[in-house]
Structure 1
Amino acid sequence: MPKPTQAHLDRTIKKNQPLELKQKTLSQMQYYMGAKLIEVGIDPQSVIYRWSVKHKEDEQICTLSAFWGESRKKLLSGEEPLTGAELIDCARANASSGIKKAAQLCGYSTDVSGFQTALKQTSQEMGLSIESLKNLLNN
């Protein structure tokens, strides 16, 4: 049986929680993920981390994913870019990292133009406001 090359950790956060409490939860997720990786013999410094945030009515589901080995190579290759809601959730959560990093984390490797095109198309298909993604689309 092949060894896993990725891990995911989810937490549900109420949208009305104070910002400090949300940040504390996200920080705890990073710490816990690092500890779990060490526990299974993976160097936390050698993985790629990706955030994803799904928005519900009064809560957010935050997911921290870690990729190493084959999963890391596949993510960086751009062979299987995210699409649909997964793309939007990834783009929003990683926008603060900049357009190039967000494109890479969402599976588009160095294809920033393809990433932006997919974001525009997906936003239109899902009836989302492009305003929430404008910092990624206007670069």
Structure 2
Amino acid sequence: MSTRLALSRLLDDAEVPAEIGQTARVLALSVRTLQRRLRAEGTSFEREVWNSRVRRAQRLMLETDLPLSRVAQDAGFVSLSRLSVVFRRIIGTTPSAWRRERRESVVAEQEPENTASLLSVGVRMLAEPQVLLATA
């Protein structure tokens, strides 16, 4: 398993803020080795943390009706503004537009017996790796 994939799984399952030293220990690596391996895979710890938080925000927007300010907080962002900036860099649109588009597509295409397949489209989209710009 790649270091990036292992880190993504760990971050996605974590309920605590990400800290590189603690994360490296869980992965049985030194901080420097973790950094080198991630760089070799074209990413960084910071990028993977942002990607994980955006995935968590996406799940919350799909699965709940929480206000976006609460989604931001629950996904680990310091503010809705920060969620919006990072989300737009990674996904290419704002959280509110993304949520609205997902809701409209479910309403437009929804058939009572086909709800599960519509949700699987959203889940597949969440699983696609995202790359954060270095300026986040």
User: Normalising by the residue count of structure 1, what TM-score does the alignment of the two structures yield?
Assistant: 0.32
The structure in which a higher percent of residues are helix is 2
User: Normalising by the residue count of structure 2, what TM-score does the alignment of the two structures yield?
Assistant: 0.32
